């Protein structure tokens, strides 16, 4: 069985976002920041009251702020997490996180970033930025370091309450809930467990139902955006019998929407799962993703299924070279031994 | 509050345009200058005219050229009055240099 396509998408979105954060982190490290009076932070915290949560979300996720600052500020201001918790979640010192928060707050104040819900003509872009931050927080949690996943879902719920008519908000909430519901089944000890091998009794079925309800709401609102489609895919993959042709169709729409080669890769997997591994492999081989772990692990799985074992072994070796986490390495080594 | 909109472009980007387009671009620059929220605007002569001056061993040292060797150079500045960064950004977005490959840096101005 090939690895869980949904997880690939999530992993990629996460890696892309983390890469961007890392780049900004390096840049920030090069800039000597002047110490900022504590008063700036306190003033900002004190101006916030519960009824202004929506304004606060849009301020925290303003694109003029560095992405890592947006994430930290959102967790601090809306998640109510302590600075030390956020620092732990992102594997940086509390001092670094404190500076990051201060820098973001100082910029809000100094540059006049408005404390307001954006005007209608700005709203679509700005809402995208908010959803991206929440999804990034979720994906940090999905990697299993600390439970930011639940925090992101809580934020998603808050946003869905505050903006009940935005389909993508419900789509993102649905996506996060359905993924989260399978979290406990994704690992057996240290080992990754693929979708097809997961113990479904470990799934949180109430959470899946709640996610599907959010997805229905998104559909009812006419939602056809990237989060809605990803949630629809996650929902199909949580079914007793996975309708792979339909999953493939959804990945095709997502690929058309995003132009992402990683989505194309998932599309290829769905084609293979729908019964045509040769067509899947053809689609995979058209992609330019040589530095990407899941490109090689997917090729390996498809080659193995087509009985081309020596080519499969070569692809597994290439994937192993690119694997960074212990569960991934163990998984690939096991596959290689089984050939 | 006031914001400086600093326009960075590749030298010659404007001259390279066909005449009709060049006039359209000029009209867009002038329209922004005429906006009631625009409090000041300057257009700089080409970068070839730049001279940089710094102190070296206690003497003023003049060198030909801009201070930084970058592909895009500062070509002009608007100072606008805006309620907040979003409004300043909307004004900045009207600068035609952006769609012609340039970059506009937006910075709040220190209040007098």
Structure tokens at B100: 């012609």
d(CA A299, CA B52): 57
Q: Name the minimum distance, in Å, from the CA of B19 to any CA of chain A.
A: 33
The per-residue pLDDT for A31 is 39
The per-residue pLDDT for A1 is 38
Nearest to A122 among B1, B86, B108 (CB): B86
Structure tokens at A140: 């940090």
Rg for chain B (alpha carbons), in Å?
Answer: 16
B52, pLDDT greater than 80: yes
Contact A118 B83 (CB under 8 A): no
Contact B82 A112 (CB under 8 A): yes
**For chain B, what is the largest distance between any 2 Cα atoms, rounded to a whole number of angstroms?**
51
Interface with A, mutate which of B37, B85, B92, B107 (most A CBs under 10 A): B85
A7, pLDDT greater than 60: no
Give chain A positions within 8 Å (CB) of B83: 112, 114
The per-residue pLDDT for A245 is 96
Cα first-last separation, chain A: 13
A43, pLDDT greater than 50: no
Q: Name the minimum distance, in Å, from the CA of A226 to any CA of chain B.
A: 26
pLDDT tens by residue, A147-163:
788 889 999 999 999 99
CA distances (Å), origin B60, targets A68, B47, B49, B53, B64 = 42, 21, 19, 7, 13
Contact B86 A114 (CB under 8 A): yes
Which carries the bigger pLDDT value, residue A119 or residue A26?
A119
d(CA B88, CA B6): 12
A10, pLDDT greater than 50: no
A38, pLDDT greater than 70: no
Q: Phi and psi (nearest 5°) for A231?
A: -65, -40
What whole-number percentage of chain A has pLDDT above 70?
A: 83
Contact B108 A112 (CB under 8 A): yes
Contacts 24+ apart (CB under 8 A), A213-217: A214/A160, A214/A170, A214/A171, A214/A173, A214/A174, A214/A177, A215/A170, A215/A171, A215/A174, A215/A178, A217/A167, A217/A170
Contact status of B111 with chain A (Cβ, < 8 Å): no
Domain boundary assignment for chain B? 2-108
What whole-number percentage of chain B has pLDDT above 70?
A: 100
The per-residue pLDDT for A215 is 98
The per-residue pLDDT for A143 is 55
Q: Considering only the top CATH level, what class is B2-108?
A: alpha beta
Nearest to A118 among B1, B86, B107 (CB): B86
Name A195's Cβ contacts closer than 8 Å, sequence gap at least 6.
Answer: A1, A4, A6, A7, A182, A237
pLDDT tens by residue, A184-222:
888 887 777 888 888 999 999 999 999 999 999 999 999
The per-residue pLDDT for A51 is 61
d(CA A81, CA A215): 28
Provide the β-strand partners of residue B60. B55
Instruction: Specify the DSSP class assigned to residue A165.
Output: T
Q: For tokens 């990945």, what's the residue?
A: A251
Rg for chain A (alpha carbons), in Å?
Answer: 21
The per-residue pLDDT for A21 is 53
Name B48's Cβ contacts closer than 8 Å, sequence gap at least 6.
Answer: B11
User: pLDDT-derived band of residue A142, with 50, 70 and 90 as boundaries?
Assistant: low
Instruction: Specify the DSSP class assigned to residue A116.
Output: S
DSSP for chain B, please give it.
-EEEEEEEE-TTTTTTS-HHHHHHHHHHHHHHHHSTTEEEEEEPPPGGG-EEEEEETTEEEEEES-SS--SSEEEEEEEEE-SSHHHHHHHHTT-TTTTTT-EEEEEEPPP-
Contact status of B80 with chain A (Cβ, < 8 Å): no
d(CA A77, CA A91): 19
CA distances (Å), origin A100, targets A31, A36, A83, A95, A105 = 12, 11, 10, 9, 9
Q: For tokens 């693929």, what's the residue?
A: A194
Average pLDDT over residues A101-108: 95
State the ipTM, two decimals.
Answer: 0.86
d(CA A96, CA A232): 38
Contact A114 B84 (CB under 8 A): yes
d(CA B90, CA B73): 22
Which carries the bigger pLDDT value, residue A62 or residue A192?
A62
Provide the β-strand partners of residue B7. B76, B104
The per-residue pLDDT for A29 is 44
- Residue B1's closest chain A neighbor by CA? A112
Contact status of B88 with chain A (Cβ, < 8 Å): yes
What whole-number percentage of chain A has pLDDT above 90?
A: 64
Average pLDDT over residues A266-285: 95
A6, pLDDT greater than 80: no
Structure tokens at A104: 């973001």
Choose among A238, A83, A71: nearest CA to A139: A71
Contact A114 B88 (CB under 8 A): no
Give chain B positions within 8 Å (CB) of A109: none
pLDDT tens by residue, A114-126:
999 998 989 999 9
- Residue A112's closest chain B neighbor by CA? B84
d(CA B82, CA A252): 44
Query: Of the ranges A13-17, A90-94, A207-211, which is most confident?
Result: A207-211
d(CA A287, CA A16): 17
Q: Name the minimum distance, in Å, from the CA of B32 to any CA of chain A.
A: 20
Contact A110 B108 (CB under 8 A): yes
The per-residue pLDDT for A52 is 82
Give chain A positions within 8 Å (CB) of B106: 111
Contact status of B110 with chain A (Cβ, < 8 Å): no
Contact status of B20 with chain A (Cβ, < 8 Å): no
Q: pTM for this structure?
A: 0.79
- Please say whether the beta carbons of A2 and A272 come within 8 A: yes
The per-residue pLDDT for B90 is 95
DSSP for A221-258, please give it.
TT--SHHHHHHHHHHHHTSSS--HHHHHHHHHHHHHHH
Average pLDDT over residues A106-132: 93
- Please say whether the beta carbons of A178 and A208 come within 8 A: yes
User: pLDDT-derived band of residue A25, with 50, 70 and 90 as boundaries?
Assistant: very low
């Amino acid at each position: 069985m090939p690895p869980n396509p949904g997880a690939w998408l999530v992993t990629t979105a996460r890696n892309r976002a983390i890469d961007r954060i890392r780049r900004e982190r390096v840049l920030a490290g090069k800039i000597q920041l002047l110490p900022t009076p504590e008063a700036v932070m306190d003033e900002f915290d004190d101006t916030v009251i519960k009824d202004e949560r929506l304004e606060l979300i849009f301020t925290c996720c303003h694109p003029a702020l560095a992405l890592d600052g947006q994430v930290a500020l959102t967790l601090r201001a809306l998640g109510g997490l302590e600075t030390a918790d956020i620092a732990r979640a992102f594997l940086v010192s509390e001092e670094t996180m404190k500076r990051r928060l201060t820098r973001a707050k100082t910029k809000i104040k100094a540059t006049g970033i408005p404390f307001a819900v954006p005007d209608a003509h700005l709203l679509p872009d700005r809402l995208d930025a908010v959803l991206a931050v929440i999804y990034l927080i979720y994906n940090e949690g999905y990697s299993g370091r600390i439970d930011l996943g639940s925090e992101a879902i809580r934020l998603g719920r808050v946003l869905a309450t505050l903006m009940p008519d935005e389909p993508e908000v419900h789509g993102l909430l649905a996506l996060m809930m359905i993924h989260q519901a399978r979290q406990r089944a994704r690992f057996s000890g240290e080992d990754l467990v693929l979708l097809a091998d997961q113990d479904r009794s470990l799934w949180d079925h109430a959470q899946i139902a709640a996610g599907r309800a959010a997805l229905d709401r998104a559909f009812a609102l006419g939602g056809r955006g990237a989060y809605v489609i990803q949630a629809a895919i996650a929902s199909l993959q949580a079914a007793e019998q996975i309708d792979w042709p339909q999953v493939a169709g959804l990945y095709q729409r997502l690929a058309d929407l995003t132009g992402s080669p990683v989505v194309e890769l998932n599309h290829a997997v769905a084609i293979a799962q729908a019964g045509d591994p040769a067509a899947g492999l053809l689609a995979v081989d058209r992609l330019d993703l040589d530095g990407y772990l899941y490109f090689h692990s997917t090729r390996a799985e498809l080659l193995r299924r087509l009985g081309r074992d020596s080519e499969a072994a070569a692809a597994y070796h290439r994937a192993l070279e690119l694997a960074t986490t212990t569960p991934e390495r163990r998984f690939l080594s096991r596959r290689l031994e089984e050939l | 509050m006031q914001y400086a909109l600093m326009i960075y472009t590749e030298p010659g980007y404007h001259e390279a345009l066909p005449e009709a387009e060049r006039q359209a671009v000029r009209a867009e620059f002038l329209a922004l200058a005429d906006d009631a929220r625009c409090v000041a605007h300057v257009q700089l002569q080409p970068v070839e005219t730049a001279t940089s001056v710094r102190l070296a061993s206690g003497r003023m040292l003049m060198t030909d050229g801009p201070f930084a060797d970058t592909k895009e150079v500062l070509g002009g500045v608007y100072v606008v009055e805006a309620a907040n960064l979003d409004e300043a950004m909307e004004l900045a977005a009207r600068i035609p240099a952006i769609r012609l490959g340039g970059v506009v840096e937006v910075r709040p101005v220190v209040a007098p």
